[in-house]
Amino acid sequence: MKAVIYARYSSDSQREASIEGQLRECMEYAEKNGITVIANYIDRALTATSDNRPDFQRMIKDSYKRCFDMVIVWKLDRFSRDRYDSAHYKHILKKNGVKVVSAKENISDGPEGIILESMLEGMAEYYSAELSVKVKRGLKENALKAKVNGGQIPFGYYIDENQKLAVDETLAPIVLEAFTMYADGYLIKDIVKRFNEKGVVTKYGKKISYNMVQYMLTNRKYIGEYRYNDIVIPDAVPVIVSKDLFERVRRRMEKNARAPARHKAEDDYLLTTKLFCGRCGAMMVGETGTGRNGVHRYYKCVNAKKHTCGKKAVQKLWIEDLAVRKAMDILHDETVVDYLTERIYELQSDENPRLPRLKEQMAEVENKIQNIIKAIEQGIIFDSTKERLAELEQEKSELDLTIVQEQIKKPFLTKEQIRFGIEKFKQLDISTKEGKQRLIDGFINAIYLYDDKITFTFNYKDGTKTVFLSEVNCPPSGSDLKCLAAPESDIYAK
């Protein structure tokens, strides 16, 4: 087994988990488990709430080379504190045959570990959200003074000594030309072509792109408007474009947006890596096609695409909605919720292997102190007795502090807290893509689609349910896709 280590800390003032400390403990984990570490990826003073981390992205890119099988992190929050980013990049690594493991959080390899990991990621995101409140307070004060709060500086401006936007007299005429051309009937691609022919580049030396011009034409800073979250301050930024010209451009962009155009629909397939063909066992992947009745989205066996399997495709929305319903059924099954609560509670004892040993050391030290006290009470006193008692009291104080620090790092959840965390899944907004995805990822391990039934494997022991399709309908006539439609009746069996 070959692995790489990813280490990160968010600011220079953070010392609790230094890069060196993370690397040391990750190496100890690797040596203990017979894993060969071939490389380290390190991001210093970068937050995990964003995926804009150079070595993190380099690690993801290198995973496509399939030269390592595992990413070891000190704790899961080093990988990401955004659960959606975490799920996205773990999905990429999983496709490349790479697993993410935590050196300090001993999460079970069993299916229950997936739910526990989801809860840990949620706690890490909560910590980041709480921390960001303090940061946002300072950013809001800057915003009220119309100061730059980070982010990309609009083309045509620079930041002056007061941390405010100032007009770049060299680039501002190019901005004005872009607005004028578009208002006069030119297309964005014509503007891009004009600027590239003239050799116009950004301050980073890159060519002007379509997206850049499109963003430029909608940026209200050019008419003097400062905006940060819900704070809007008119006439707080030096003006480059008149309000009349900006309004003419806005009206034309709205008109063009309503014009008929064909765009390939971008859609997220929530069951990617979880849906498998019941005939050949291959993965079923998302497909989009256009028929006489419009755009169709479905899942299709990868071998069927190669014409080596005869499995029919299945409609995307139907199979995804069915998966969501089956996952939600778990949350309304008190027996399953009780079982998950007990299993997660038991797993916690293995999460911090250092804590039990520290408590053993504390018990040993307290026993030695009691023995010395008993000896003193019996009149057995030597010159070294007082010195030894002071040493033990100091050791006890240090152990007590270390135990508290370990408990703060990873608080032990009561059964009530664990049950509350599981129950929170019931409150997910399953009308949104994010809500559906989190529910599916948290509870569904795999789905096998057969010709007459669908078997769901959930993330807990013996968690399997089969849905038999008594009748199979086809989509409305005229569709060029032979897909499974929703069954008229379901029969459930364990």
**DSSP string across 229-295:** TTEEETT-S--SS-HHHHHHHHHHHHHHHHS----PPP---TTTTTEEETTT--BEEEEEEEETTEE
Taking alpha carbons only, the member of 41, 39, 34, 40 closest to residue 1 is 34
Amino acid letter at 155? Answer: F
Question: Average of pLDDT values for 419-446?
Answer: 84
Could you report the per-residue pLDDT of 122-168, keeping only the tens digit for each?
665 555 555 555 566 667 777 788 888 777 789 999 988 888 999 99
Taking alpha carbons only, the member of 124, 120, 150, 146 closest to residue 135 is 150
What b/e string do you get for 205-220 counting C-beta neighbours within 10 Å, with b at 16 or more?
eeebeeebbeebbebb
Yes or no: say if 164 and 158 are a contact pair by the CB < 8 Å rule.
Answer: no
Say if residue 308's pLDDT is above 50.
Answer: yes
Other CB atoms closer than 10 Å to residue 169's CB: what's the count?
8
Q: How confident is the model at residue 180 (pLDDT cuts 50, 70, 90)?
A: very high
Could you report the per-residue pLDDT of 200-251, keeping only the tens digit for each?
988 878 889 888 898 999 999 999 999 887 888 999 999 999 999 999 999 9
How far apart (Å, rounded) are the C-alpha atoms in residues 241 and 356? 66
How far apart (Å, rounded) are the C-alpha atoms in residues 465 and 5? 38
How far apart (Å, rounded) are the C-alpha atoms in residues 107 and 254? 51
Chain-centroid distance, C-alpha 65: 22
pLDDT at position 490: 36
Amino acid letter at 282? Answer: A
Which secondary structure element, helix H or strand E, spans residue 8, and what is its range? strand 2-9
Could you report the per-residue pLDDT of 91-111, keeping only the tens digit for each?
788 888 998 888 887 665 556
Cite the DSSP H helix spans in 82-170. Answer: 83-95, 112-144
- φ, ψ of residue 44 to 5 degrees: the values are -105, 135
Q: What stretches of 12-96 adopt beta strand conformation (E)?
A: 36-44, 70-73
C-alpha count within 13 angstroms, C-beta hemisphere, residue 399: 19
Q: In percent, how much of the chain has pLDDT > 90?
A: 18
Strand-pairing partners, residue 165, are 159
Q: Which residue has the higher pLDDT, 182 or 8?
A: 182
Tell the burial category of 383 from Cβ atoms under 10 Å away from its Cβ (0-12, 13-18, 19+).
exposed
pLDDT at position 292: 66
How far apart (Å, rounded) are the C-alpha atoms in residues 294 and 132? 44
Question: Average of pLDDT values for 301-315?
Answer: 89
Yes or no: say if 71 and 4 are a contact pair by the CB < 8 Å rule.
Answer: yes
Yes or no: say if 164 and 186 are a contact pair by the CB < 8 Å rule.
Answer: no
Strand-pairing partners, residue 72, are 5, 101
The answer for residues whose C-beta is within 8 angstroms of residue 119's C-beta and 6 or more apart is 344, 418, 421
Strand-pairing partners, residue 275, are 447
How far apart (Å, rounded) are the C-alpha atoms in residues 240 and 371? 82
Q: What angle do CA 80, 411, 329 make, to 5 degrees?
A: 70
Tell the burial category of 9 from Cβ atoms under 10 Å away from its Cβ (0-12, 13-18, 19+).
buried
Yes or no: say if 188 and 210 are a contact pair by the CB < 8 Å rule.
Answer: yes
How far apart (Å, rounded) are the C-alpha atoms in residues 477 and 213? 44
pLDDT at position 249: 93
The answer for residues whose C-beta is within 8 angstroms of residue 427's C-beta and 6 or more apart is none
Yes or no: say if 80 and 58 are a contact pair by the CB < 8 Å rule.
Answer: no
Residue 489 DSSP SS3: coil
Question: Average of pLDDT values for 10-36?
Answer: 77
Taking alpha carbons only, the member of 436, 418, 420 closest to residue 428 is 436
How far apart (Å, rounded) are the C-alpha atoms in residues 428 and 439? 8
Could you report the per-residue pLDDT of 354-382, keeping only the tens digit for each?
777 788 888 999 999 888 888 888 877 77
> Out of 28-32, 59-63, 109-113, 441-445, which region has the weakest mean confidence (pLDDT)?
109-113
**Pair of tokens at residue 276:** 């498998």
Residue 455 DSSP SS3: strand
**Pair of tokens at residue 376:** 């003193």
pLDDT at position 422: 82
How far apart (Å, rounded) are the C-alpha atoms in residues 441 and 113? 12
> SS3 breakdown of the chain: % helix, strand, coil, rounded to 5?
50, 15, 35
